[in-house]
């Protein structure tokens, strides 16, 4: 199964992708995670994109498209994949069409005030990228990753000033992809406002009904 997860920052794409990856035995490709790994490893790509991520702006299409092209050409993607956070612009979506077919584009629908609460309480394990929420999905010990024991961090772009810009960028550049994929008959709308388990079950049923 080849899928795109669409929805605003904080909609729960990464959380549901972590479950879907296990349930369906497919690869989870998060462009945000790939950029954060490059920044952490101080690669050329990382140096190029660091300030862009910190500001909550989009990395140029050419850079992002090339990174995804290389990733989905890897043999582990043959059985299927979830693209989480890509495409984010019409140019990226057009490029993706030239790279692969898709079975579904899951559109997670979540009210803006919920998204803001989710983003501002999000915490992350710096080495594994595992996601928590201070209220909705806390670790067993406050501030500590359940498995690695590392201190959790708040992503710099999850601070309030940057959240506002990211949501504007989403409305301007990414939300038009909902119509783009609806016209292609690929959109599966999922109410993302319930618990992760509930959202996963809604999606699973919708995908099985395709
Ligand atoms: P979230 O899950 O909160 O939406 P991501 O982890 O997907 O955030 O992305 C973090 C940042 O990485 C984005 O704000 C943007 O700067 C950059 N980024 C990720 N994916 C893309 C993309 N497809 N095109 C351009 N920039 C991207
Ligand atoms: P995205 O990848 O779309 O940016 P995440 O999966 O990182 O979103 O989720 C954003 C925050 O909201 C995280 O802190 C996560 O723990 C929390 N979260 C995700 N899904 C839900 C949900 N269904 N209910 C409550 N909190 C959630």
Q: What is the CATH number of the domain that holds 188?
A: 3.40.50.300
Domain count, the chain: 1
The packing angle between helices 112-120 and 160-169, to 10°, is 140
pLDDT at 6: 98
Closest to 108 measured CA to CA, from 10, 192, 15? 192
User: What are the residues whose beta carbons fall under 8 Å from the beta carbon of 166, sequence distance 6 or more?
Assistant: 9, 56, 119, 157
> Which atom of ligand 2 lies nearest, measured to the CA of 85?
2
> Which atom of ligand 2 lies nearest, measured to the CA of 131?
16
Is 13 one of the catalytic residues? yes
> Largest Cα–Cα distance in the chain?
46
Structural domain boundaries, residue 204: 2-208
Is 88 one of the catalytic residues? yes
Question: Which secondary structure element, helix H or strand E, spans residue 52, and what is its range?
Answer: helix 44-55
pLDDT digit string (tens) for 161-175? 999 999 999 999 999
Cα(205) to centroid(ligand 2), Å: 20
Cα(201) to centroid(ligand 2), Å: 16
pLDDT digit string (tens) for 122-133? 999 999 999 999
Is 79 one of the catalytic residues? no
Question: What does the pLDDT profile of the chain (210 residues) look like in tens digits?
Answer: 999 999 999 999 999 999 999 999 999 999 999 999 999 999 999 999 999 999 999 999 999 999 999 999 999 999 999 999 999 999 999 999 999 999 999 999 999 999 999 999 999 999 999 999 999 999 999 999 999 999 999 999 999 999 999 999 999 999 999 999 999 999 999 999 999 999 999 999 999 999
Ligand index nearest the alpha carbon of residue 55: 1
In order of 34, 73, 92, 156, the CA distances from 67 in angstroms are 9, 10, 11, 23
Burial of 77 (0-12, 13-18, 19+ CB in 10 A): middle
Is 155 one of the catalytic residues? yes
């Amino acid at each position: 199964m080849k899928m795109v997860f669409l929805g605003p920052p904080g909609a729960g794409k990464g959380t549901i992708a972590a479950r879907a990856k296990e349930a369906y035995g497919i690869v989870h490709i998060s462009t945000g995670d790939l950029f954060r790994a490059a920044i952490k490893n101080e690669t050329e790509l990382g140096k190029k994109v660091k300030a862009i991520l910190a500001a909550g702006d989009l990395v140029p299409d050419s850079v992002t498209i090339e990174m995804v092209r290389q990733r989905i050409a890897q043999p582990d993607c043959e059985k299927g994949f979830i693209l989480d956070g890509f495409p984010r612009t019409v140019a990226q979506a057009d490029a993706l069409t030239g790279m692969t077919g898709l079975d579904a584009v899951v559109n997670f629908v979540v009210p803006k005030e919920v998204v803001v609460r989710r983003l501002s309480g999000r915490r992350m394990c710096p080495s594994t990228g595992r996601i928590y929420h201070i209220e909705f999905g806390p670790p067993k010990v406050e501030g500590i990753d359940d498995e690695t024991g590392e201190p959790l961090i708040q992503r710099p772009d999850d601070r309030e000033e940057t959240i506002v810009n990211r949501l504007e960028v989403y409305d301007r550049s990414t939300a038009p992809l909902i119509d783009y994929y609806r016209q292609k008959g690929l959109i599966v709308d999922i109410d993302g406002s319930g618990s992760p388990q509930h959202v996963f079950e809604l999606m699973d049923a919708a995908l099985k009904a395709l």
